[in-house]
């Protein structure tokens, strides 16, 4: 899942005067028992018990006594789904994690997952783009947290190969097999015009087996320039994952191959929105979804943002076959209004087990009644003809059965995620609202069903429920959910 930087820049991340106890080490609460001796191999099953887990960033959390040093929290999947009672938090003050917490590092600003060392346990990649590296202010860092039978434990730093050439290393991340050798690689973006590929064959002691870089054909410069978003997908079905680089000049698709990615096409123009990848029409080629949440600035397609599906094919992503969906599209609840940020967050998954991936769309700045920027989430259906507004669902904190209430600046839907956490074959919808309770933040989980996402059994939990101190600290729990 990726989110628009517009949402981040508009949120309050100011630390209050009162500090709470630091995140000392990796806090483990009621880890699910019986993790399998033969791990599942799922990319986001961090303890190998066969259930997909949920990783959530709290980049404003206190760690090691340092304000806004940041933390990540894993809540574990189970037969009953996600619960705050089964969680583990990690920061740079945790044992075995490289680096040390510093004020305003914001560890957990970006997340990606994959079984990088191919031991059967999912690993979590954490981007900390505002970390100072020596005298390099906001140089940025990337850390791999390794999965195991007890969940995430220890980590390995991925060094910036060109620290003097850019800032904010780790501002975007993606995992995929970009060289086609069957091993997962890691793509890392920064404010530079190049993207680095760290090659598969990772080990805990040495990190990547090698590295290469490619010219992403984008603008470099101060954020939000550079590679703002990254996504992976095999759009031409050639066995190598392609890389999509979202930037201030649009989204550039680079075809994967043994020598590394090469440019294929550019889709969309102007400011980079969120990205999602799935084969929505099941034709054997991944499709690319681009969220354009700043439409009033860029064009008049929609005032409150829109999403565009660019379909894959034998030649890769095509610009001639695409679908544009807004809040005014047939079947989509709501109405297009200026600066809703519809498309500011995206995630793909099959919520009703019909075999077609669906799309979750967040609009964190949607206003409802007198609650401004309270936020809303839609689920759009995939099918044989691709993504459609027909049968779309919409949820906010005022929806019957959804915990909470619509309040100004909650930013519900600022992050979204779709994954099957209870092994019933249907993806569950997770929603982050980093602005909930004055930037304490919270996460909601709504289960998938044969009829789509259901509010039956919906749960929500805030920062304090998973060991993240709240009072006066603005942890912004739920600001990012690990990519689907």
358 CB neighbour count, 10 Å cutoff: 29
Half-sphere exposure for 62 (CA within 13 Å, toward CB)? 24
Q: How many CB atoms lie within 10 A of CB 149?
A: 16
DSSP string, 462-479: EGGGGT---TTT---BTS
How far is the C-alpha of 73 from the C-alpha of 91, rounded, in Å? 9
Domains of the chain: 281-483 (2.130.10.130)
Tokens of 151: 């969940």
Cis omega before residue 224 (within 30°)? Answer: yes
Strand partners of residue 377: 362, 395
Q: Which residue has the tokens 């809540």?
A: 75
Listed in sequence order, the residues at least 6 apart from 292 whose beta carbon sits closer than 8 Å to its beta carbon are 268, 270, 271, 273, 298, 301, 305, 306, 307, 308, 343
The pTM (predicted TM-score) of the whole model is 0.92
Range list of H helices, 18-123: none
Token pair 């679908």 in the structure block, residue: 323
Q: What is the pLDDT along the chain (484 residues), one digit of tens a residue?
A: 555 544 443 232 222 222 223 333 344 444 444 444 579 999 999 999 999 999 999 999 999 999 999 999 999 999 999 999 999 999 999 999 999 999 999 999 999 999 999 999 999 999 999 999 989 999 999 999 999 999 999 999 999 999 999 999 999 999 999 999 999 999 999 999 999 999 999 999 999 999 999 999 998 888 888 999 999 999 999 999 999 999 988 899 999 999 999 999 998 766 667 999 999 999 999 999 999 876 544 455 678 889 999 999 999 999 889 999 999 999 999 998 888 999 999 999 999 999 999 999 999 999 999 999 999 999 999 999 999 999 999 999 999 999 999 999 999 999 999 999 999 999 999 999 999 999 999 999 999 999 999 999 999 999 999 999 866 689 999 999 996 4
């Amino acid at each position: 899942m990726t989110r628009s930087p517009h949402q981040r820049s508009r949120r309050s991340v100011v630390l209050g005067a009162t500090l709470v106890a630091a995140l000392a080490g990796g806090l483990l609460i009621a880890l699910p028992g019986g993790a399998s001796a033969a791990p599942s191999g799922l990319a986001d099953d961090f303890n190998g018990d066969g259930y997909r887990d949920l990783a959530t960033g709290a980049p404003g959390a206190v760690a090691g006594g340092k304000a806004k040093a940041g933390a990540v929290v894993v809540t574990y999947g189970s037969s009953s789904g996600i619960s705050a009672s089964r969680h583990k938090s990690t920061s740079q003050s945790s044992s075995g994690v490289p680096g040390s917490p510093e004020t305003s590092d914001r560890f957990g600003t970006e997340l990606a997952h994959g079984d990088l060392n191919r031991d059967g346990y999912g690993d979590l990649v954490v981007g900390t783009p505002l970390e100072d590296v020596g005298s390099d202010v906001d140089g940025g860092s990337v850390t791999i947290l390794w999965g195991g039978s007890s969940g995430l434990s220890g980590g390995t730093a991925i060094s910036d190969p060109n620290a003097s050439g850019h800032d904010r290393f780790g501002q975007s991340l993606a995992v995929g097999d970009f060289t086609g050798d069957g091993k997962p690689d890691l793509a890392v973006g920064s404010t530079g015009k190049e993207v680095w590929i760290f090659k598969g064959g990772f080990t805990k002691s040495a990190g990547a087996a090698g590295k290469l870089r490619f010219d992403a054909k984008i603008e470099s410069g101060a954020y939000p320039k550079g590679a703002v978003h990254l996504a992976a997908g095999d759009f031409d079905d050639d066995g190598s994952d392609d890389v999509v680089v979202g930037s201030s000049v649009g989204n550039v698709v680079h075809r994967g191959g043994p020598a590394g990615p090469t440019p294929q096409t550019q889709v969309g123009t102007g400011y980079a929105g969120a990205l999602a990848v799935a084969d929505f029409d099941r034709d054997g080629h991944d499709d690319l979804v681009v969220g354009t949440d700043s439409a009033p600035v860029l064009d008049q397609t929609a005032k409150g943002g829109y999403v565009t599906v660019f379909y894959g094919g034998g030649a890769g992503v095509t610009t001639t076959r695409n679908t544009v969906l807004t809040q005014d599209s047939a079947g989509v609840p709501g109405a297009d209004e200026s600066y809703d940020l519809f498309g500011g967050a995206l995630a793909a998954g099959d919520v009703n087990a019909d075999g077609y991936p669906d799309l979750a769309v967040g609009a964190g700045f949607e206003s409802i009644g007198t609650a401004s920027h309270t936020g809303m989430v839609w689920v759009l259906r995939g099918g044989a003809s691709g993504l459609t507004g027909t049968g779309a669902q919409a949820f906010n904190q005022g929806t019957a059965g959804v915990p909470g209430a619509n309040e100004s600046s909650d930013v519900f839907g600022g992050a979204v995620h779709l994954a099957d956490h209870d092994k019933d074959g249907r993806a569950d919808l997770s929603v982050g609202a980093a602005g909930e309770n004055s930037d304490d933040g919270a996460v909601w989980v709504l289960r998938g069903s044969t009829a789509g996402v259901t509010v039956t059994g919906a749960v929500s939990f805030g920062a304090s429920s998973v060991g993240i101190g709240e009072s006066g600290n603005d942890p912004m729990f739920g600001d990012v959910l690990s990519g689907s």
